[in-house]
Amino acid sequence: MSLPLLLTATAVDATLVQAMRLVVRRFLLADDAHVEGLRRSAAPYLDPALLEAPQRFFDLPPGSAVRLASSRTVRVVRGGAVLSHRLATDLAPDDPIHLAHWVQQGRRPHATVLAVHGFTMGWPRFDAIALLASEWFRAGLDVALLTLPFHGARTPAGASFSGEAFARPDVAELNTAARRSVQEILLAARWLRAEAGHPVGLLGMSLGGYLCATAAGLDTDLAFVVAMVPPACFGDLAWRFLPERGAGARRTPALGYDELRRAFRIHSPLAHAPVVSRERLLVVAGRGDRIVPPEHPTSLWRHWGEPPVHWFDGSHLAPFGRAGIAAAVRAHLARLGFA
């Protein structure tokens, strides 16, 4: 990749980082009363017993079930069709899981890719492009695009943008949103395995990569997990977005660096040892990423025991080298016998 392209890619990311700092200013640089409220909301997640066994945070209620509430054909694509499913769960009876399910016709797929989008996304037509759904479908796999809670068509009334309600300025609410998202990923994978009768693996990008990486420590039945440009620690990421003052100095945040890391650690993939075997894991990361800097996917890669990794040229929002990303993921799936 040429230097001008790399500089362009990092400049695109840098623009969003400045916008994120405006959001973080409201979240973290609060008045004293808000600071204490944030600390109180974080307290339950600092319980040593819970941190010792963080998987308990994601335990489903006893008897949790998932069932098909509705299904319809959205459109026909070459080699199959795209179906829209609504899966009813006990997690939120009035807000079913949304799946856009690309189904092969005329040949039996070796596996299903359950693909999970990033923050502020959640519209399947656009997610399909970002998550390279047509690539996996042409490779002979079924693809199911999951819309995360509070995103896309699941955006609550009154929210300014897709995902706003996911990242509320409250530790407990954000942690609850992360837990529900991971639980929905696990339930959707369970339903797809039962429905199709073949293996299901995860592919997530950005926030979706983070959540899928966490799921890799919870579900032994996952056929593979591909984490693309994944954050590894929400606390560290939030700290990086803090506004600066003067010559690079930071204003005093509502929560300090260590507090931030501890507050969100319960759902960090770094808090969960993978239960999916190392050869079934893949990390995809951008050399010029300034939103999820390389330290994050590198930390996940090390935590996972240094599984296969693909570094692409470009950044988070300008991922030059998409053909290389698709080839690397297809090669990984082919080694596993799924493509």
If phi > 0 it is left, if psi is from -120 to 50 it is alpha, else beta; for residue 178 that is: alpha
Pairing of strands 249-250, 244-245: antiparallel
**41 confidence band (pLDDT: 50, 70, 90):** confident
Closest by alpha carbon to 333, among 138, 104, 186, 195? 138
194-230: pLDDT as tens digits:
998 999 999 999 999 999 999 999 999 999 999 999 9
pLDDT score for 34: 65
Question: Which amino acid type is present at position 254?
Answer: A
Higher-scoring residue by pLDDT: 255, 3: 255
Above pLDDT 90, what percent of the chain? 62
Where is mean pLDDT largest: 157-161, 189-193, 292-296? 189-193
Rounded to the nearest 5 degrees, what angle is found at the Cα of 207, between the Cα atoms of 202 and 209?
Answer: 30
Write the CA distances from 164 to 8, 22, 35, 94, 147, integer angstroms. Answer: 28, 14, 20, 19, 14
Measured CA to CA, the distance from residue 286 to residue 314 in angstroms comes to 6
**255 confidence band (pLDDT: 50, 70, 90):** low
305-326: pLDDT as tens digits:
999 999 988 767 666 678 899 9
Q: What tokens appear for 301 in the block?
A: 């890669």
93-106: pLDDT as tens digits:
999 999 999 999 99
Looking up tokens 């509502």 gives 254
- Please list, residue by residue across 26-56, b when 16 or more beta carbons sit within 10 angstroms of its beta carbon and e when fewer do: ebbbbeeebbebbeebbeebeeeeeeeebee
Kindly compute the dihedral angle of the four CA atoms of residues 318, 22, 42, 232, in this order, to the nearest 10 degrees: 20
Please report, in angstroms and rounded to a whole number, the separation of the first and last CA atoms in the chain. Answer: 28
SS3 46: helix
Question: Which amino acid type is present at position 47?
Answer: D
**247 confidence band (pLDDT: 50, 70, 90):** very low
pLDDT score for 317: 67
**26 confidence band (pLDDT: 50, 70, 90):** low
pLDDT score for 152: 96
| Backbone phi and psi for residue 186, each to the nearest 5 degrees, phi listed first | -65, -40
**11 confidence band (pLDDT: 50, 70, 90):** very low
| Backbone phi and psi for residue 93, each to the nearest 5 degrees, phi listed first | -55, -30
**DSSP string for 91-156:** S-TTS-EEEEEEEESSS--S-EEEEE--TT---HHHHHHHTTHHHHHHTT-EEEEEEPTTSGGGPP
> Does the predicted model carry a pTM greater than 0.75?
yes
pLDDT score for 237: 82
Residue 228 pairs with which residues in a beta bridge? 205, 284
pLDDT score for 253: 53
129-164: pLDDT as tens digits:
999 999 999 999 999 999 999 999 999 999 888 998
Identify the CATH assignment for 3-335 out of 2.70.98.40, 3.30.110.40, 3.40.50.1820, 3.40.980.10. Answer: 3.40.50.1820
Q: Which residues contact 323 (CB under 8 A, 6 or more apart)?
A: none
Closest by alpha carbon to 269, among 215, 337, 333? 215
Mean pLDDT of the chain: 86
Instruction: Indicate the domain borders of the chain.
Output: 3-335
Looking up tokens 């998550």 gives 131
Measured CA to CA, the distance from residue 319 to residue 245 in angstroms comes to 30
Q: Mean pLDDT, to the nearest integer, of 271-281?
A: 97
